[in-house]
């Protein structure tokens, strides 16, 4: 008999919350009772889990009685306020927001990269930023075998990362544009349809955006290497699902591309799609619903044996959020 757990999903009606429910089901997580929590606005709504319909309840301080594992994805301020109640009730919180990620006593985990950190938790485990997760998967074998000195990344991020409202905005704006109607942006500072916005999250003092600084700081924390030099440019693109990244790395040892392809092929959670002759490479349209992070377009720098460029794509709602959180829960209960 496998032990079963009472699981709560906070933000269950959101873009990520829905994927958390779906992922628990797809991976057959040993759920005893599933509690779905959201704002008062969504209370009473029915959501599907396996063959059941579950009523969404309003999130309150008392929501976590009897809960073993609480998956949070309702924004940083909700996590800040309610995660402590969940911990006090004896639950382990796996938090998808940026709120706790850089706190020293909170492990920040990608299970294929730093699973051991899970077991140092004090009640809260943080799920990294979506763009960081897929990038560190591709970087881990490089760091282990070639020594990773420097990373320069540009992202092409889907609107679903911002949630349901942004998915609606891209749909409505696209049809408004084609119908020559006026549409005032509500979610993003500028029009996203048929456009690119080189800003994700707010700007910081140093000219980088908060999203870019998350990639820089979280990468160092997850990989336990404060010396890796990371530089990021994060761009929003008119894609619904799937973040893409152009990554340039500098290594200690010379790079052999065939050897690196082999390392990626063996690495859990990565799928190599790299066949220029057949015009095969990862694309966001092929990432939706897929658990693996896809890598391709690997080529050595024309100027250096110690540098290479490549391309990484993943479903931002799955490996970038819901799947990674459920995988953390799986590791947690395996012990
Ligand atoms: O602080 P951060 O870390 O920067 O995170 C900010 C936001 O980013 C998303 C997530 O949005 C989060 O709110 N997010 C965070 N991490 C992410 C990651 N790694 C990430 N996205 C991708 N990758 P979200 O849309 O996915 O989820 C929002 C959920 O939060 C619930 N919520 C909000 N306030 C709450 C709360 N829950 C409890 N208490 C509160 N006070 C929110 O639930 C949602 O589940 P809701 O009930 O308030 O609203 C969802 C309802 O609204 C409907 N709806 C939304 N948009 C539309 C709509 N209906 C029609 N048209 C629309 N355009 C939904 O159907 C639902 O009923
Ligand atoms: O820090 O708008 O987890 O795409 C994830 C997605 C913040 C914003 C996070 C987006 C975020 C974000």
At 1, the pLDDT band (50, 70, 90 cuts) reads: low
Nearest-ligand number for the alpha carbon of 79 = 1
Q: Say how far apart CA 279 and CA 135 lie, in whole Å.
A: 23
Please check whether residues 118 and 142 belong to one and the same domain: no
Residues 6 or more apart in contact with residue 135 via CB below 8 angstroms: 151, 153, 215, 219, 245, 247, 312
Please check whether residues 113 and 165 belong to one and the same domain: no
Q: Whose CA is nearest to atom 22 of ligand 1?
A: 161
Please check whether residues 251 and 327 belong to one and the same domain: no
Tens-place pLDDT, residues 287-309: 999 999 999 999 999 999 999 99
Distance from Cα 181 to the centre of ligand 2, integer Å? 29
Q: What is the mean pLDDT of residues 44-65?
A: 97
Task: State the CATH number of the domain containing residue 249.
Answer: 3.30.360.10
Residues 6 or more apart in contact with residue 302 via CB below 8 angstroms: none
Phi, psi for residue 332 in degrees, rounded to 5:
-55, -45
pTM of the complete model: 0.92
Task: State the CATH number of the domain containing residue 107.
Answer: 3.40.50.720
| 307-314 sheet: strands from edge to edge | 229-236, 148-157, 243-251, 307-314, 293-300, 270-272
Provide the 3-class DSSP secondary structure of residue 140: helix
Please check whether residues 120 and 182 belong to one and the same domain: no
Q: Say how far apart CA 205 and CA 210 lie, in whole Å.
A: 10
Cβ of 97 closer than 6 Å to ligand 1, yes or no, is yes
Please check whether residues 195 and 270 belong to one and the same domain: yes
Give me the pLDDT at residue 253, please: 98
The torsion defined by the Cα of 189, 195, 198 and 314, in degrees rounded to 10, comes to 110
Catalytic residue status for 130 = yes
DSSP 8-state symbol, 211 = H
Tens-place pLDDT, residues 149-165: 999 999 999 999 999 99
- Ligand 1 pocket, mutate which of 9, 12, 13, 58 (most atoms under 8 A from CB): 13
CA–CA distances in Å: residue 4 to residues 20, 33, 44, 322, 334: 17, 8, 26, 20, 12
Q: What percent of the chain has pLDDT over 90?
A: 99
Mean per-residue pLDDT over the chain, rounded:
98
The total number of structural domains that make up the chain: 2
Q: Please identify which of the residues 99, 121, 234, 243 carries the catalytic annotation.
A: 243
Please check whether residues 37 and 185 belong to one and the same domain: no
Residue with tokens 């109640």, as numbered in its chain: 85
Give me the pLDDT at residue 2, please: 83
Domain boundaries, position 252? 132-316
Q: What is the mean pLDDT of residues 83-111?
A: 98
Please check whether residues 242 and 297 belong to one and the same domain: yes
Give me the pLDDT at residue 125, please: 99
The torsion defined by the Cα of 264, 269, 273 and 274, in degrees rounded to 10, comes to -20
Tens-place pLDDT, residues 244-288: 999 999 999 999 999 999 999 999 999 999 999 999 999 999 999
Q: Please identify which of the residues 130, 190, 224, 234 carries the catalytic annotation.
A: 130
DSSP 8-state symbol, 305 = T
Please check whether residues 171 and 185 belong to one and the same domain: yes
Question: Which one has a higher pLDDT value, 2 or 249?
Answer: 249
Tens-place pLDDT, residues 209-219: 999 999 999 99
* Pairing state between β 293-300 and 307-314: antiparallel
Distance from Cα 161 to the centre of ligand 2, integer Å? 5
Relative to the CA of 130, which ligand 1 atom is closest? 19
At 44, the pLDDT band (50, 70, 90 cuts) reads: very high
Please check whether residues 155 and 262 belong to one and the same domain: yes
Q: What is the mean pLDDT of residues 206-229?
A: 98
Q: Whose CA is nearest to atom 42 of ligand 1?
A: 11
Please check whether residues 90 and 115 belong to one and the same domain: yes
Please check whether residues 110 and 144 belong to one and the same domain: no
Which residue(s) pair with 8 in the sheet?
35, 70
Residues 6 or more apart in contact with residue 335 via CB below 8 angstroms: 119
Please check whether residues 195 and 119 belong to one and the same domain: no
Catalytic residue status for 234 = no
Distance from Cα 73 to the centre of ligand 1, integer Å? 7
């Amino acid at each position: 008999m496998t032990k079963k757990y009472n699981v709560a999903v906070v933000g269950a009606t959101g873009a990520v919350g829905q994927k958390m429910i779906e992922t628990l089901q797809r991976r057959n997580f040993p759920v005893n009772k599933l509690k779905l929590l959201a704002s008062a606005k969504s209370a009473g709504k029915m959501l599907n889990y396996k063959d059941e319909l579950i009523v969404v309840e309003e999130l309150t301080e008392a929501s976590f009685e009897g809960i073993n594992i609480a998956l949070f994805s309702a924004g940083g301020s909700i996590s800040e306020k309610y995660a402590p109640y969940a911990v006090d009730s004896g639950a382990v919180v796996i938090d998808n927001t940026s709120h706790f990620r850089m706190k020293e006593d909170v492990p920040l985990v990608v299970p294929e990269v730093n699973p051991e950190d899970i077991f140092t938790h004090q009640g809260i485990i943080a799920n990294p930023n979506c763009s960081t997760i897929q990038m560190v998967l591709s970087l881990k074998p490089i760091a282990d075998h070639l020594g990773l000195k420097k990373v320069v990344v540009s992202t092409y991020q889907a609107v679903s990362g911002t949630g349901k409202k942004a998915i609606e905005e891209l749909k409505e704006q696209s049809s408004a544009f084609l119908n020559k109607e006026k549409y005032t942006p509500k979610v993003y500072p500028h029009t996203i349809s048929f456009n690119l916005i080189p800003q994700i999250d707010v700007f910081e003092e140093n000219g980088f955006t908060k999203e870019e600084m998350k990639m820089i700081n979280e990468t160092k924390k997850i990989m336990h290497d404060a010396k890796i030099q990371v530089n990021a440019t994060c761009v929003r693109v008119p894609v619904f699902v799937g973040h893409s990244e152009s990554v340039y790395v500098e290594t200690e040892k010379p790079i052999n591309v065939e050897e690196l392809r082999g390392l990626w092929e063996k690495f859990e959670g990565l799928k190599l799609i790299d066949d220029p002759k057949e015009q095969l490479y990862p694309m966001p349209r092929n990432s939706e619903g897929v658990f693996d992070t896809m890598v391709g377009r690997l080529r050595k720098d024309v100027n250096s044996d110690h540098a290479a460029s490549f391309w990484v794509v993943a479903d931002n709602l799955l490996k970038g959020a819901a799947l990674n959180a459920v995988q953390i829960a799986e590791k947690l209960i395996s012990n």
